[in-house]
Structure 1
Amino acid sequence: MAPELKSCVDNLEIQSVILKSLLVNLRDDVDAEVFDDECIEHPQEIRALKLIRQFQREEDDTWFYRLHTVIAIRFISEEDTKKDSGDDSIEPILEIRAEFVAQYESKCELSEEGLSLFGEKYVFYHVWPYWREILQSSCARLGVPPLMISPLRVS
């Protein structure tokens, strides 16, 4: 483990995870009553660190780090699988996308490199349970069968 990453792992303490934005969309021509396993044969997933913000509380020299993450899943038609994933003409059958902000506290200032490494690997461990809940509750509200995703494993 890189020393910068180890410093983050040893010093960052999770304070909160909040939902910053949410998109849930079932394509207009798909009704919940006919949503079945065929609709979820071609998933595309996104997991990305979007932004890192930091600030210091001067009275006690505590550092706060906010890591903005985006997690999304969408299901596309077989026809759309032939297109580049960034193609704007893709109309997902179902898309659920959430941005979370995980706030951490540290007693020392941490390097940008270490924070980026931490954000790419470890922040999702803290955000994942919230993502799973969003996914399950969104499916229930849409009236479609629940999507099963496994717990996140950090190696």
Structure 2
Amino acid sequence: MAKAKVSKKLQQAIDSLVINDVYLKSAQAECEDDFDPKSADSLEVLSVQQMHIVLKSEVIQVDGDGQLVRIHIRLGARWVSQQEEDEEPDIKALIEGQFIAEYLVTDSIEQEAIDEYALKNASYHVWPYWREFLSSQCERLRLPRVVLPTVQFSKQPDPIGL
């Protein structure tokens, strides 16, 4: 199996960015008023939909001549009941979080390299935090446990703000 080739810009970002922090910026976790997961007979007919969006990246000046790169990533899961194909999903519960992956900049880097890194690498740093957050929120809301793989990423839609 051929190994995926890393572009020059992505390699520049890998060489220039060092993970400094990963943290939760905002969160939402709720069940709809008409849905009680402890007494719901229909939990098995609910399907889980997932969301993963890299929202934006930003370069922050810090004291002296240092810089940080912050990459904002939004992740979510929602439990929906089956609907006809042309109907909006009936959302029974959702858990969402916006995380920030923060990197120290060790060498000059182009914005294009940061953008490529944001889309292709930053989620690897956030994913363990999302897995833990989702698992703990499922337990607190008494939702069925969702076991996420160690890493699972789909192709990113056109980013907003990158």
TM-score range, shorter chain: 0.7 to 0.9
Flag the structure with higher helix content. Answer: 1
Q: Distance in 2 between matches of 1:70 and 1:44?
A: 14
Which amino acid counterpart does residue 101 of structure 1 have in structure 2? I
1:3 maps to what in 2?
A: 8
Q: Where do residues 62-101 of structure 1 align in structure 2 (5 Å cutoff)?
A: 62-79=66-83, 82-83=85-86, 90-101=89-100
Q: 1:58 to 1:134 in 2, by over 3 A?
A: closer
Separation in 2, partners of 1:37, 1:128: 26
Maintained 8 Å contact 2:83/2:90: no
Count how many residue pairs are aligned between Structure 1 and Structure 2.
146
CA deviations over 1:71-121 (Å, ceiling 9, x no partner): 1111222116x247xxxx544122111000110002222111111111111
Query: Retained in 2: the 8 A contact 1:63–1:109?
Result: no
CA shift, 1:153, in A, is 5.5
Question: Closer, same or farther in 2 for the Cα pair 1:58/1:26, shift >3 Å?
Answer: closer
The TM-score, its normalising length taken from structure 1, stands at: 0.84
**Structure 2 counterpart of 1:107, which letter?**
T
* Aligned partner (choices 25, 31, 42) of residue 26 of structure 1: 31
Q: Contact 2:45–2:82 (CA<8 Å) still a contact in 1?
A: no
Question: How many angstroms apart in 2 are the aligned matches of 1:138 and 1:92?
Answer: 17
Q: Which runs of 4+ in 1 moved over 4 A?
A: none
Identity %, equivalent residues: 27
Separation in 1, partners of 2:112, 2:151: 23
Whole-angstrom distance in 1 between the partners of 2:108 and 2:78: 37
| TM-score between both structures, scaled by the size of structure 2 | 0.81
Distance (Å, rounded) in 2 between the aligned partners of 1:104 and 1:69: 14
CA-to-aligned-CA distance 1:17-74 (integer Å, 9 cap, x gap): 11001011212211121263322x3x32211111211023363x33210001101111
CA contact (8 A) 1:62 1:108 kept: no
Partner residue of 2:115? 116
Specify the code of the residue in structure 1 equivalent to 2:81.
Answer: S
Matching residue of 2:147:
148
Q: Unaligned regions of 5+ residues in structure 2, if any?
A: 1-5, 154-162
Q: CA RMSD in A?
A: 2.0
Whole-angstrom distance in 1 between the partners of 2:79 and 2:86 = 13
Q: What is the DSSP-based 3-state SS (H/G/I as helix, E as strand, rest coil) of the residue aligned with 2:81?
A: coil
Q: Distance in 2 between matches of 1:91 and 1:112?
A: 40
Q: How many Å separate the matches in 2 of 1:147 and 1:153?
A: 13
